[in-house]
A and B are shown apart, each in its own frame.
Chain A
Amino acid sequence: GQNIDQPTEMTATEGAIVQINCTYQTSGFNGLFWYQQHAGEAPTFLSYNVLDGLEEKGRFSSFLSRSKGYSYLLLKELQMKDSASYLCAVRGADKLIFGTGTRLQVFP
């Protein structure tokens, strides 16, 4: 079967660092994507990993370990506008398989 697990909700304080984990079991692997989705809006692309290691892009970083079926998204210097859902998605042969998303609330 195919399964992607993420925590349902997380909270953090403005200025802090938060790590959102994603574990996956899929029949194929051709990369892992992280998307951000504000309430009522479309998901927007944040990052892509296909090789093991850390990809850094400004305040956001994403890590992948293929042998462990594990990824995380690291958000630094949190801002109020980072309150959103974060979706982990694994690309199989032709399709993306999405997790249920992690809703992050940032408090002042």
Chain B
Amino acid sequence: DGGITQSPKYLFRKEGQNVTLSCEQNLNHDAMYWYRQDPGQGLRLIYYSQIVNDFQKGDIAEGYSVSREKKESFPLTVASAQKNPTAFYLCASSYFRTGGVTDTQYFGPGTRLTVL
């Protein structure tokens, strides 16, 4: 089965702790993305990576970090200093610049992070 997996589905963290969210895909997609979704708001881009060992900041990168050591994996670390990290985090992947609908982003099931 090809797809995108995120783990865990629910994550609870105490204030002052870093936490890493996992995202893996076996779709052979070049690009991967991390979004944050808050109630009543659209998806906001945190970081994205178009190729291995390269990534770019999105619109709300402060307090987050990523790595892209393998094509299949794009973990997101939420730093303890990140203000208000409680949210629904979505990972997505796509082909890159092949043109048209083939660049469609497909999403993983999401991780709901709650800071206690």
Provide the residues of chain B in CB contact with A45, threshold 8 Å.
104-106
**Residues of A close to B44: CB separation below 8 A:** 98
SS of A interface (majority): loop
Also in contact, A100 and B40, with CB within 8 A (given A42-B109, A95-B48): yes
In the complex, whether B45 has a CB less than 8 A from a CB of chain A is yes
Partner of B110, one of A41, A48, A50, A87: A41
Task: A91 to B105: give the CA distance in the assembly, Å.
Answer: 10
Given contacts A44-B107, A95-B48, contact A87 B100 (CB under 8 A): no
Closest to B91 in A: A42
Question: Are A42 and B90 in touch, CB under 8 angstroms?
Answer: yes
Interface size (B, Cβ < 8 Å)?
25
The answer to whether B58 has its CB under 8 Å from any CB of chain A is yes
Chain A, interface residues (CB within 8 Å), range? 20 to 34
Q: Which residues of the partner chain B approach A43 to less than 8 Å between Cβ atoms?
A: 43, 90, 107
Which residues on A are within 8 Å of B, measured CB to CB? 4, 8, 31, 33, 40-45, 48, 50, 87, 89, 91, 94-96, 98-101
**Residues of the A chain whose Cβ atoms lie less than 8 Å from the Cβ of B116:** none
Q: Does B42 contact A (CB under 8 A)?
A: yes
* Given known A94-B50, A95-B58, contact A4–B42 (CB-CB < 8 A): yes
On chain B, the residues within 8 Å of A31 by CB distance are 100-101, 103
**What is the bound-complex CA distance between A95 and B55, given in angstroms?**
13
Residue contacts A-B, CB under 8 angstroms, 20 given = A31-B100, A31-B101, A33-B105, A40-B88, A40-B112, A41-B109, A42-B107, A42-B109, A45-B106, A48-B100, A48-B101, A87-B42, A89-B43, A94-B50, A94-B56, A95-B58, A96-B45, A100-B41, A100-B42, A101-B42
